[in-house]
């Protein structure tokens, strides 16, 4: 009487080539899942295959600087349009303050996701302070630490406008020549991509 084969034991029929094919499939699946992450990390670290074109109008701050590195102490947890003036808040600074408020209003239904603020190293003139109190009731005003600001702003002495994310990271920087439409488009794009703030 011959040996009875066990139909439940399927591993006996697996050939070495079947195991090799299974391993190859596992390796391919891992490459498909992990490969893009490794490629993206390499592109970021070694700056290869990075597109030359850009879709934003300001200067990207991609070095991990925060609002605190800029010399501004704030606990704001929304997107922020922060105007900084290392000297007096002269005409270019006042134009950026006005622009920051207009851009926030221009966000429409997303206006509550952002705020506007002013950081100055010198006290504001009494006339301008009274105007801000009257016309800009939501404007936040912070003192600016010039020691920190000089290093973070690369020595720029004119007024700047910064987009700051809800974690306090500096994202984009603009000078007083920025167009309101460009700034609004940049902020809208950031809000669209962001699930924070």
The pair of three-digit structure tokens given for residue 51, joined into one six-digit string: 């597109």
pLDDT (average), residues 111-132:
95
At 1-35, the pLDDT tens digits run 555 555 555 555 556 788 888 899 999 998 999 98
pTM for this structure? Answer: 0.72
At 72-116, the pLDDT tens digits run 999 999 999 999 999 889 999 999 999 999 999 999 999 999 999
């Amino acid at each position: 009487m011959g040996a009875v084969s066990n139909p439940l034991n399927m591993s006996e029929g697996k050939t070495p080539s079947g195991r090799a094919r299974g391993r190859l499939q596992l390796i391919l699946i891992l490459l498909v899942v992990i490969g893009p992450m490794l490629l993206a990390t390499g592109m970021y670290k070694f700056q290869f295959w990075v597109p030359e074109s850009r879709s934003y109008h300001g200067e990207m701050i991609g070095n991990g600087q925060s609002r605190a590195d800029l010399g501004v102490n704030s606990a704001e947890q929304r997107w922020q349009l922060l105007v900084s003036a290392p000297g007096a808040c002269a005409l270019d600074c006042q134009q950026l303050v006005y622009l920051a408020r207009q851009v926030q209003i221009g966000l429409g239904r997303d206006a509550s996701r952002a705020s506007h603020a002013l950081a100055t190293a010198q006290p504001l003139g009494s006339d301008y302070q009274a105007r801000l109190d009257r016309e800009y009731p939501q404007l936040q005003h912070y003192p600016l630490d010039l020691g920190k600001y000089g290093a973070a702003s690369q020595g720029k002495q004119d007024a700047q406008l910064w987009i700051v994310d809800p974690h306090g990271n500096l994202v984009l920087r603009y000078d007083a020549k920025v167009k309101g439409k460009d700034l609004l488009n940049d902020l809208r794009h950031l809000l669209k991509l962001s699930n924070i703030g």
